[in-house]
Amino acid sequence: MEHSAAPYDERLTAPGSWWVITALVALSGGLILLPLGTVPMLGAVVVTGLLAAVAVSSYGSARIRVVAGSLVVGDARIPVAALGGAEVLAGEEARAWRMHKADPRAFMLLRSYIPTALRVEITDPADPTPYVYVSTRNPRALAAALEAVRSGGSGSEEKETSGPV
């Protein structure tokens, strides 16, 4: 049986504390219109709550995949053939590459609430982008998936069983 799943697929989601803040924003919107009556207050709670939820969800739902020979990060699609070595970053090193070591020409998918990242060199001479910086919860697995695609493997470590279980 052939696997059609991507060797790596991760969805970055906003932390729970952001959703608490979203609820507080909705409550604040309602309190602002409370002097106008109950119906305007409830309308403000719904509208500000929906707007805040859309903002948090759209920012927090970035997707990282390695599929069809490409690294797909958010809206960017980079062929694995154009990528060089990958460096796993954690803690202070990840923070340094987000701040003072960062190159303004780099493509960066930053999520400050994720402490680990992967930095991958761009080897395409026609591309002025020096590297891709990706905030990810599992940088080692992402690096392994890129290496598996680069070496021609499937990147899938799943074992199949046949017969009754």
Average pLDDT, stretch 4-14? Answer: 76
Confidence of residue 6 (pLDDT cuts 50, 70, 90): low
Dihedral of CA atoms 11, 17, 20, 25 in degrees, nearest 10, equals -90
Calpha distance 43→58 (Å, rounded): 22
pTM for this entry: 0.74
Please return the burial class of 75, using the count of CB atoms within 10 Å of its CB with bins 0-12, 13-18 and 19+. Answer: exposed
SS3 105: coil
Q: Average pLDDT for residues 126-135, to the nearest whole number?
A: 89
pLDDT exceeds 90 at position 5: no
Quick check: 163 pLDDT over 80?
no
**What is Dmax (Cα atoms) for the chain?**
69
Return the pLDDT at 148.
86
For the four alpha carbons of 94, 98, 104 and 109, in that order, the dihedral sign comes to positive
Q: Which residues partner with 11 through β-bridges?
A: 63
pLDDT above 70 covers a percentage of the chain that reads 88
Residue 14 has φ and ψ, to the nearest 5°, of -65, 145
